[in-house]
Structure 1
Amino acid sequence: MSSPTESEAARHTAEARAAVTASLSSVGASLTNEMRTRTADLHSNSAAISKQEKELAKQTAVLAKQGAEWDKLLQKGTKKLNEVGDIQNWAEMIERDLLVLEETVRLVEGKEGQETASGTGGW
């Protein structure tokens, strides 16, 4: 075989260069497509996240309002329970005073053995 001529060498070099360029273009196109796909996904996910953030803020406001209503109801209930406790204390004080009066009247009248409807002694 004879040695390749300059034109054949140039042709082989051009073919090799074309093959490398085509290979690089193919790799570049593949990476570009992948990056475009990722970019599109990021943009669509960003829009979905923004929508979810708005919905979350809306729901948080609703929950805050409901929490405030429940706190108000709790405060009213606590106040009512305190009032009931105050009424019970008042009733117990009245009952003690009545027992003292009943015992005093019983001692004054000298009726030690009689029972009353309350079971504490006679009037």
Structure 2
Amino acid sequence: MLLTGSRCHQISSDFRHRESTRLPFPVNMLSRLLKEHQAKQNERKELQEKRRREAIAAATCLTEALVDHLNVGVAQAYVNQRKLDHEVKTLQVQASQFSKQTAQWISVVEGFNQALKEIGDVENWARSIELDMRTIATALEYVHKGQLQTAST
């Protein structure tokens, strides 16, 4: 590649410009160290942010697992409560039916007792009638015997 006069002059002036703008060696080193430090800090920040996101995700998973575990217990308690409510209603209906049945049985037993009393009363009445009839029969026999004896004498 051939360089013309103007192009050569431009390259030479660019080189001089760079040389004049170059920082001394220790400043370049400090600049490089600063950039490295900033890069490491950025890496640490990114790593810290990544770990923070992972920690948040893990905490979220743990929270969801705990809530799910608790919800299972709550759901079971709810199911048990519904079963108990159903059993209570069934027991109330059965207790009401038993009470009605018991009242009917008491009524039947009272009727039976009354019938027994009446039978007892009829039996007593029959005994009383029987005694009265025997008394009348004895009196009639006595009268009849007395008439026979008077007729034979």
TM range (shorter): 0.5 to 0.7
The separation in 2 between residues aligned to 1:68 and 1:61, in whole angstroms, is: 10
Q: CA deviation at 1:11?
A: 3.2
Q: How does 1:36-55 map to 2 (within 5 A)?
A: 36-55=78-97
Cα-to-partner distance string for 1:15-60 (whole Å, 9 max, x where unaligned): 3312220211111210121011112112212221222122122212
Higher helix share: 2
Tell me which residue corresponds to 1:75: 117
- The percentage of counterpart residues that share the same residue type is 14
Gaps of 5+ in 1: 111-123
The separation in 2 between residues aligned to 1:32 and 1:84, in whole angstroms, is: 76
Gaps of 5+ in 2: 1-43
Q: CA deviation at 1:81?
A: 0.9
The alignment's TM-score, normalised by the length of structure 2, stands at: 0.53
2:103 aligned partner, one-letter code: A
The separation in 2 between residues aligned to 1:103 and 1:31, in whole angstroms, is: 103
Q: Secondary structure at the match of 1:40?
A: helix
- The answer to whether structure 1 residue 11 and structure 2 residue 48 are counterparts is no
Q: How does 1:1-123 map to 2 (within 5 A)?
A: 5-94=47-136
The separation in 1 between residues aligned to 2:116 and 2:125, in whole angstroms, is: 14
The separation in 1 between residues aligned to 2:75 and 2:123, in whole angstroms, is: 70
Rg (Cα) greater in structure: 2
Greater RCO structure (CA 8 Å; 6+ sep): 1
The separation in 2 between residues aligned to 1:52 and 1:67, in whole angstroms, is: 22
Deviates more, 1:85-94 or 1:22-31: 85-94
The separation in 2 between residues aligned to 1:86 and 1:99, in whole angstroms, is: 20
